[in-house]
Every structure is written in structure tokens, then in C-alpha cells.
A and B are shown apart, each in its own frame.
Chain A
Amino acid sequence: MALPVAAAPPVRRGPLPWLLLRLGGVVFVLWAVATVTFFAIRLIPGDPAEAVLGGPGSQASAAALAQVRADYGLDLPLPLQYLHYLGRLAAGDLGRSYSLREPVGAVIGQNLGGTLLLALLSLLTAAVIALALAAWSTRGGRWASAVTWVLEVVSAALPHFWLAISLILLFSTTLGWLPPVSVPGPAGLVLPVLTLAIPLAGFLGQVMRESLLDALGSPFVLAARARGESEAGVFWRHALRHAAIPAIGLAGWAFGALISGAVVVETIFARPGIGRSLLSAVQLRDVPLVIGVVLVVALGYMLVTTLTDLADRLIDPRPAPTTAHRGRS
């Protein structure tokens, strides 16, 4: 039975049934996303064949329209089109982009790497900043705690475009240290990565700080101190592990924030990536490309949430309560 994702079972299942449940959930959500997108796109007013040929202004001939309809399978009845669409998707074929006249899979393939690199570096930078802020605020006394609180809340609320503009004005226009557009190489990555990382660090910092404070006041930290564990040992070995759990739970959300941010950041810094492809596809109403990017992002989201659930099972130091009772090893 394909019981979908967050139907979190009240008991901890063994690894294999859990994995099967999760995979079933992933397949269900992907199918639903594909179906929702397919039928949502039908709500677009106007003739899709005309859109292929450059919109209503193109004054395409009847013969050309008929040709396009036959090429793209638009002359078939809707249920049949839907089945063809699902069949092609299952085979990994995302169709052809209207605006670029290239297979959507190829367009995404060319752009995915850049976005992934940007997102990963930003996530890493954000985690380092958040960790530093959280560590400082838990040890630096009242003053440090108040300052980091404001810093975190403010940076979490900063819009990407304004941050990007301000960073460009400061580091490119005024100081001339870094290029205002994303040139190849590490120098071109600094500003885009900072733009994405700063708001994310604010969110992560808020979450981690609360759970760090929780952990530092808990009996297991007291026990560790009583055993003679050093302050650093308490922080790194005990409290941090506890604090990482809620932060990891945010991963799905963080993925969404990074992708949305990538749309803005890649556009401002003229950096190739799927965020920028998505925006231009939205502006040109390039339906196959929009669907393709949406599906890839949804797949990425499902991957991230599944992996984080897995990581959660591995990191969570609390023992699994039910396995022993159910006689499973």
C-alpha cells in the first residue's frame, strides 16, 4: 500500500517497511504534482499550438498550427494526452521547450549544476554563520543574546533582492572588490552565496539557539558536566547534536527558500541556473519548461525531506522505544 509521506506512524517502524512507505509516498506526491500541473496548465487561456509558434501575435497559418498540434500531440483527446504525458514522464522525457526549441531535460541538465552549487555553498555558509551566532548567544551573556536575537530576526526578514542590491552597491560599486555579475570562478560566487545565505542563517540561528538553550539546561548536559566533560565537549558532543534535530527538520523548508531565492539571485547576478530558466519560462509562458522545472524541484524537495527523515532517525539520540517490544531487532 502506498501510504503517503507525512502519515507519520505513531510507532517507529523497522528500516525496510519505513523506507517502502516513504518511497510509496514520494511516488504518490510526484504523480499528484505532475497531474496537478498538467491540468492546471489547461486553464491557460489561448491555444497551446499558437503558444508554440510565438503567441497570438505570430499569425501562424492554419497548416502550421495543424502541424504543431500533430507534433506535440495536441490533437488527441484530453485523457489520451494525459496518459501520453504520464508515459513520457515515466520514461524521463519532459518534452520540448517552446522558447528554446530544445528538449526540456537538456535545458534543465545544463542549468541544474550551477543552481545546486549555489544552493549547497549557501546552505553551508548559512550553517556556519548560524552556528557561530548560536554559540555566541548561549555563552556571551545577556547582551550577546539580545544582539544575536535582533541580528537573526532582522536577517531572516531581509528580502533577497534588496540584500543583493545592497551587497552589489557596497562590494562592487563602492569598494570594487567583487564583480556585480556572476563571472565564472570563485569571485563571482561570493555575492550570490552571501545573498542566499544571510536570511537562511537568520532562520537557522533562531531555531538552533532555542534548542541549544533547551539542551544546555537539560539533565543530560548536567550529567556530562558531572562526568568532567569540558565545556567544548559539552557543546560539540552533546548539546549540538540535540540542537541539530529541529534544524534538520527545517531542511525541506530551507530547500524551498533556496530555490525561490535562486530565482531572484540568479536573475540579479545574471547567473545561469534553473531559477533563472524558470523565471524566463514563466515570463514567456513556456509551459513545458515550467512543468519540467516544477517537477525537478518537487523531486528534489521529496528527496531532501526523505533524506532528512532518514538522518533524523540516525542522529536522534533518544532510543527507539517500540522495536524491543515488538520483538524486532
Chain B
Amino acid sequence: MSRPAVIVAAAVLAFLVFAALFPGVIAPGDPLAIHPLDSFRAPSFAHPFGTDESGRDIFTRIIHGTGASLTIGLSATAIGVGLALILGLLSGLGPRWLDFGTTRFLEVLFAFPGLLLALLFIVIYGPGVVTSTIAVGLATAPGYARIIRSQVRVVRRAPYLEAALVLGRSPAHRLVRHLLPNVVGSLFVLVTLGIGQSIVWASSLSYLGLGAVPPAAEWGAMLSAGRTYLGSFWWMTFFPGLFIVLAAVGTTLLGRGIQQGTRLR
């Protein structure tokens, strides 16, 4: 176990959430204010992370972009888990033919591995923040769905569900009060791990110019803008990337830590 690492991760995440809620407290400046005379300044005391091609302060932009970037990661995860919950419940609770059909459907989706499904979705609906968020959610859904399906199949045979049936509870009651809490509870760790992955994938898409568009103060969009200047002005891509890493590593460490903690008990 690595308790210090997990505590550091929790602290980093708490900082990021604070920055997302109150960006003005940490970085009082305007993330969109341009100062052409101060363009491409290297990191210094006045500009800890340097400035970009329009002289905008990168530290301010990163802090103000936290909300947008975390929202994209959270929404993508929510879309993925939501879709997966529908598929997993259909497959785990439905009749055999429905389970067979859903499982085959998932196998077909698995044959579009990794970002492939997301890229296909973007070809159809065009690049942008909303499409790339949905695309990432869609690409992560099959993995969650498979786990939810197997979890549902374990829980549905549990004695407490049989007891609820014998007590004459309605199907809706059994689903909402007994089955879902037990399925969702085990999903918690998975979702914590998934948020980090979603942030990484969404920012990868932004970096490739398929997600959020540059003027916005969003981590992926800042990366994409800085890509042109990688050779000469490294701070434009390094620092936004560093925050993506902090968010991704933070959620992953926390998720793994919780996983180990619950397993030991």
C-alpha cells in the first residue's frame, strides 16, 4: 500500500476542484485578456507558466480552464456509464435472446478498439467540444457495459433479491432499491479510474484538433494552440499537459487506493 501517494493524490484533486469552482481566488487575472507586447514570455515571477502567442498568462488560463476540462471528463464518463448501465441491465436482466444480442453488439463495438470508435463518431458529426465529449463517452461505454452485465448477473441471484421477491416487492422496487445500489456501488472505483482516462482521451482529441477550439481556456485547446510552437516555446504545451497529467494521475491513484483499501477490509 502507498498511503502517502493516495493522500497526495486526494490533495491534488481537492486543489483542482477548488480551482474549478473558484478560479478567481487562485488566479485573479482575466484568462482571455491579451497583451501583444508580452507574447511568448518564458516562465518568470510575473508569469509562472509563461505567456502564449497573444501575451495571455498561461497560469491564469490553466486555472480558469480547470472547470471546463473537468466538466468534459466528468460528462464523458457519465455518458459512458449511462449507456453502459442501459446495455448492462438489458443484457443482465433481459431474456436470453436480448442478452445474446447485446453481447454480440458489444463484441462488435470492442472491435473498434481504443479511440477508433471516437474518431468514427467525429467523422460523422464533425469536430467540437460536444461531439468529442460524446465520442469519448461512447468509446468507453463497451468496457463498462461488460463489467456491469457480469455484476448484474451476480447480484440478480443474491439472496436479498430473492427475499424481496418473496416479500412481494414490485419489480420496480427490487430494481431501484436492491439491484441498482449493489451494482452501482461496485462501479464507484471503476468510475473514479474512468474519469482520468476520459480526461486524457478528450484532451488527446483536443490536442489533435478534433475537440475544444483554441481561444477557449481549456487544457486540450491550449495544448492544440501550443503545438505549433513546440520547438521554441515549450511552456505553452508543457504546463497545460502537466495539469491533465495531475488530474489523470490523481483520479487513478485515488481510485486504485480505494480499490486496495476496500479489498483489504
Contact = CB atoms under 8 A, between A and B. Distances in A.
Interface stretch (B15-23, B61-69, B119-127, B181-189): B119-127
B91 interface: no
Interface string B217-249: 000000100000011001001100110110011
Given A43-B124, A150-B5, A157-B200, A256 B114 contact: yes
B144 interface: no
Contacts, number: 145
A260 B114 contact: yes
A153 B120 contact: no
A112 B251 CA distance: 35
A99 interface: no
B249 A298 contact: no
Interface of B: 1-2, 5, 100, 103-104, 107-108, 110-116, 119-120, 122-125, 127, 196-197, 200, 203-204, 207-210, 223, 230-231, 234, 237-238, 241-242, 244-245, 248-249, 251-253, 256
Interface size class of A (residues with CB under 8 A): 35 or more
Contact of B115 (A6, A36, A149, A263): A263
Contacts of B204: 159-161, 260, 264
Contacts of B116: 256, 259-260, 294, 297
Nearest to B121: A40
A298 B112 contact: yes
A30 B165 CA distance: 42
Contact of B208 (A7, A264, A285, A301): A264
11 contacts: A28-B104, A30-B111, A153-B5, A157-B248, A158-B245, A161-B203, A161-B204, A161-B241, A252-B113, A263-B119, A279-B208
A298 B107 CA distance: 11
A5 interface: yes
A59 interface: no
Overall SS of chain B's interface: helix
Contact of B231 (A37, A166, A180): A180
Nearest 4 Cβ contacts at the A-B interface = A256-B113, A260-B114, A256-B114, A162-B241
Contact of B111 (A150, A173, A180, A301): A301
A221 interface: no
A302 B237 CA distance: 36
Contact of B230 (A168, A260, A261): A168
Contacts of B209: 283
B112 A169 contact: no
Contacts of B231: 173, 180
A29 B108 contact: yes
Given A282-B123, A283-B127, 14 more contacts: A4-B107, A30-B111, A32-B104, A157-B196, A159-B204, A173-B234, A257-B114, A259-B114, A260-B204, A282-B122, A282-B210, A294-B112, A294-B116, A294-B120
Interface in A34-49: 36-37, 40-41, 43-44
A33 B111 contact: yes
A4 B245 contact: no
A29 B107 contact: yes
A171 interface: no
A278 interface: yes
A196 interface: no
Interface string A260-283: 110110010000000000110111
A260 B115 contact: yes
B200 A159 contact: yes
Contacts of A169: 234, 238
Nearest to A148: B2
B113 A154 contact: no
A156 interface: yes
Point out which of B116, B119, B209 has the most chain A C-beta atoms below 10 A from its C-beta. B116
A255 interface: yes
A133 interface: no
A201 to B, nearest CB: 15
Point out which of B103, B125, B197, B200 has the most chain A C-beta atoms below 10 A from its C-beta. B200
Given A162-B242, A166-B238, A260-B116, A153 B256 contact: yes
A36 B108 contact: yes
A283 B132 CA distance: 13
Interface string A160-180: 111001101100010000001
Contacts of A222: none
Contacts of B112: 33, 294, 297-298
A257 to B, nearest CB: 6
Nearest to B203: A159
Nearest to A155: B249
A217 to B, nearest CB: 15
A4 B104 contact: yes
Contacts of A220: none
A166 B242 CA distance: 10
Contacts of A282: 119, 122-123, 210
A43 B124 CA distance: 6
Point out which of B113, B238, B256 has the most chain A C-beta atoms below 10 A from its C-beta. B113
A134 interface: no
